[in-house]
Amino acid sequence: MSETRIVVLLSLITLGLIVILISGILGQIYFNPIFWQVSGVSLILASLLLLRQKRSGNSKENPEGLWEKQVNYLRNNGEKIVIDLRKCKIRSGSFHRPKKELDYLDETSVVDILLSEPQHSKSENIEHSVLIYRHTLPTGKTIIFYGPTDKDKKTLLILCEMQKSTSIYVDKNNLAMYYFDLEFLDK
């Protein structure tokens, strides 16, 4: 639930309680105390109904579902640019990440992990690459599209050579919102 919604609901409940509490004092001066009490109870009930009401448009979905919706939106409504993969540049890199095999640790491994002694810890090399495509619009402006992958450079070169082409789906109103179709890498 968003913070704004929580603040509004708590404000309504607090206002309802304040109205009920001061109804005895102010109610005799301005209106019948029953009017103030009914107003306060109505505010509290309205806020409780809002609290229980399901949020249809603002529901938080899992990131995969949100990603799929965005991809489907771009495929259906975006501009499709078919690109030649041989015209893409490939940038690659790697980093080392310590392996933490927590299933079969002996006492020295536990001590090594706790004391962070890198000479005894095993590490794995994580390779990643990015496909970079420069596209010139009819207006003469050049935009750059990035397609990040978890493949190493050699594998990516082979797969791109086999695939030959792919598509980039770009939102017509926002060029920064695009989908670089790299699903052929997972086949």
Query: Which range, of 83-97, 115-129, 171-185, averages the lowest pLDDT?
Result: 115-129
What is the tally of structural domains in the chain?
A: 2
Whether 34 and 80 map to the same domain: the answer is: no
Query: Which range, of 55-64, 93-102, 176-185, averages the lowest pLDDT?
Result: 55-64
The dihedral built from the CA positions of residue 64, 171, 133 and 82, taken in this order, carries a sign that is: positive
Predicted pLDDT at 56? 45
Residue with tokens 């598509």: 167
Whether 69 and 150 map to the same domain: the answer is: yes
Predicted pLDDT at 166? 95
Whether 76 and 46 map to the same domain: the answer is: no
- Confidence band, pLDDT 50/70/90 cuts, at residue 87: very high
Q: Which domain holds residue 148?
A: 63-96+125-186
Whether 38 and 76 map to the same domain: the answer is: no
What b/e string do you get for 109-143 counting C-beta neighbours within 10 Å, with b at 16 or more? beebbeeeeeeeeeeeeebbbbbebebeeeeeeee
Using one digit for the tens of pLDDT, what is the confidence trace for 17-73? 776 666 656 555 555 666 666 776 777 777 677 666 644 445 555 677 788 899 999
